[in-house]
Structure 1
Amino acid sequence: MKTFLYARVSTAEQNIGIQVTQAEQAGYVIDEVIADHGVSGVSVPLKDRQEGRRLFDMLRHGDTLVVRWVDRLGRDYRDVTQNIRAFMDRGVVVKTIINGMTFDGATTDPIAMAVRDALIGFMAATAQAQAEATKVAQKSGIAAAKEREDAYKGRKPGFTSADMDTVLAELEKGRGATEAAKAAGVSRQTVYRIKTAPAAARAALAAWGL
């Protein structure tokens, strides 16, 4: 039985190493890292990614799959739910670094199964909703930035798009500012800024190309 970390970054500027470090800090001993670079979680299903296909080939019964959050497996509701259920059907345990969630197919109790499946569905829906909101915000932010290309862009944000995604995910699950800040590695002030004006935060990130 092995423990795999699957990591994904959508741009060349992002760093897979951060996700590896987060897994190690969470106490996981990773046997192998499978990573897709420069791949969109919105437009490219897991099975269509080069390393995603390899992940399906390598996972065996009793293995553990660790991901930063379910959005690493996809940003589409159907893709995420189908992937997690496919892994569980194989006897693979899926664990998330954020929130420390565990999904497996061991339980046969119908109530426990219903709660598990509902949670998977909620997290998958959240991943898609965040992706759609990000896309809209980025478009409006980029358009606004182009209109004022020669204008002062304001202070550079002290957080990245990935940090903001983590903060929003934590807040969506009812976590407090302190917990969200710890999960994303940002300050409480940054969490309040994102929470109070998410569209403005996205626009600032877009203006700075973050």
Structure 2
Amino acid sequence: MAKFLNTSATNYFLEELIKNAKDRLILISPFLRLNDKIKELLEDKNRLKIDVRVVYGKNELQPEEIKWLKDLTYLRTSFCKNLHAKCYLNEETCIITSLNLYEFSQVNNNEMGVLVQRSEDTQLYNETYEEAQRIIRISDEIRISVETVEKEVEISPQNSDESSPNKLTTSKLAQKLGLKTPELLEKLIQAGYLEPRDGLNFITQKSKQAGGEFRKSPKYGSYLLWPEDLHP
């Protein structure tokens, strides 16, 4: 059955939840400012190529936070308007809590929450997971896992993938191929369509020759379009 958590227990089990994630990790928090321990754990998940989704609701990220997030290839961030829920899940455990993923809250505030184990409360876990997925679906992905840099290219906001009917974004191409986005990114790098440098993935000449396009918009930032028949 669900276990009650006070502030210190919430922090402890949150770290354990992140540490023990083997397949997926979902972190939903209106406010986002990570302490060094959480960053260390997420960097380890990135090295292990674990799919991490972070959803936040207050657009107040500091420049150093943005740069750190961009360096994690397998971590995707989304912005959800009017978000107030705080929920953290891996494939076996979830925490529903008042605690933001915010360093000040973790140190200074009095918080509480509940710990749910999938093996003991399957229905409650599944209902929480489904609601987390709904929140992800209605949020705007700020940085698709591929992060491209090509300073000389600027595409006007109205030029979106709707104007390229035979091309797909990286996430949509991954879905079509039956892959997770991080898996497709790895294949694109191995095939020479992307070149990783300094924590970012750069579009290559081979990408351009194959029909890959760099796009940039004020709302979604940098992203790529690929021919729908591309098979890296």
> TM-score normalised to the size of structure 1?
0.27
- Decide which structure has the larger Cα Rg and report it: 2
Q: Which has the higher contact order (CA 8 A, sep 6+)?
A: 2
Q: TM-score, normalised by structure 2?
A: 0.25
